Amino acid sequence: MLPLIAVVGNVEPALLRAFVRHYLSLGVSDVLLGFHFTDRVPADAAAQLLEVSREEAGEPRHVSRGPWGEQSNGEIRDRLRAEAGPGWHVIADSDEFHHYPVSLTETIAEAEAAGRATVEGLLYDRVSRTGELLAPDAGRSLDDTYPLGGFVTHDLVSGDSRKVLIARSELVLSSGNHWVPGLRSGAPEAPPLPVHHFKWRAGCQQYLAARMADFAASTRPAEVSMREECGRVLAHLRTHGGRLAVDGLAPATTAVLPPGWDEQAARVSDYWWRSRWLAKGGTR
C-alpha cells in the first residue's frame, strides 16, 4: 500500500483533476485528500472541488472552513497520515507534481536498500511561455499551458525549495513538507528529484496580496517569511507588467527529467542543504 497524502485549498477543478490523475498514473494505491477553505472561497467553488474529489479519488477524508495559518496544512496533513497508517507515504501539495526517473516501487526499494527513510526533491517551477499567469485549461495539458521550467521559488522568491516527496509514516515533517526535524544535517544522501510546481497561475497575484494582508501583523517567523516572500513576488510582477520574467527558464515536461537537472539542482541543493545551513550555525 502506498497512499498519497494531499491538502487542498482553493485550486481550479482542472488542476485538482490533473493532480489526482498524475499520482494514480504513478501507482499510488489510495488518494487521501483533505480540504480547507477560507471564508474567501464561495460555497459553490468549494462544492465543485469536493465533487471532483469524489469523481477522481473518492470521498474527501477531511473538509474544514475558517482562517488559514502557517500551521493549518500541517495539522490536516498529519490527520491524513494517521488515517493512512504505517508504511511509506507519498506527500504533495495540490500544485506539486513529482517526477520519478524509475517507478515508485523501485524508488522506495532504492531508499530502503540505502537505509534512507525519505525521498527528497526540489521545487521546479512551471511557467507559461510568456510568463503570464494563466489558468489551467481542461482542454490542454499542464505541460502545454506551462511549458517552461526553472527555480523561480529559489531565485526570485528566496523560498525554501526543499521538499520531502516520500517518507516513512513514523517521521514527523516540518510545516510545508520541506524537511524532517532531527533527521540529519547537511546534504541529502541521494540527489533530489524534481517537483514540478504549478503555482504561478491566474489568481496568484490576488492570493499573494491576501496572504500578505492576513499576515500583516504576525510575528510568527514562518508567517513573517511568507509575508516577505509574497512581497518579493508582487514587486516583481509590478515591475514586469503582471508577468514573471522567463529569462533563464527552459522547456520542461513532467514526463522526463529537466534538461541538465543534476547540474541545475546541485546549485540549489548546495544552498539549502549546505551553505545556508552552515551560515545559520547548523540550524534549520
DSSP readout, 66-117? S---TTHHHHHHHHHHHHH-SSEEEE--TTEEE--SS-HHHHHHHHHHTT-S
Residue 46 belongs to some domain of the structure: yes
The answer as to whether 109 is a domain residue is yes
* pTM for this predicted structure: 0.95
Average pLDDT over residues 61-70: 89
Sequence-distant (≥ 6) Cβ neighbours of residue 134 within 8 angstroms: 128, 145, 146, 201, 202
Q: Give a yes or no: residue 284 inside a domain.
A: no
pLDDT the model gives residue 281: 60
Q: Domain for residue 192, yes or no?
A: yes
pLDDT for residue 185 is more than 70: no
Number of domains in the chain: 1
Is pLDDT of 225 > 70? yes
Q: Are 7 and 73 in contact (CB under 8 A)?
A: yes
pLDDT band per the 50, 70, 90 thresholds, residue 64: very high
Mean pLDDT of 98-114: 97
Q: What is the mean pLDDT of the chain?
A: 93
Give me the domain span that covers residue 172.
Answer: 3-279
Q: Which three cell numbers stand for residue 54?
A: 469524489
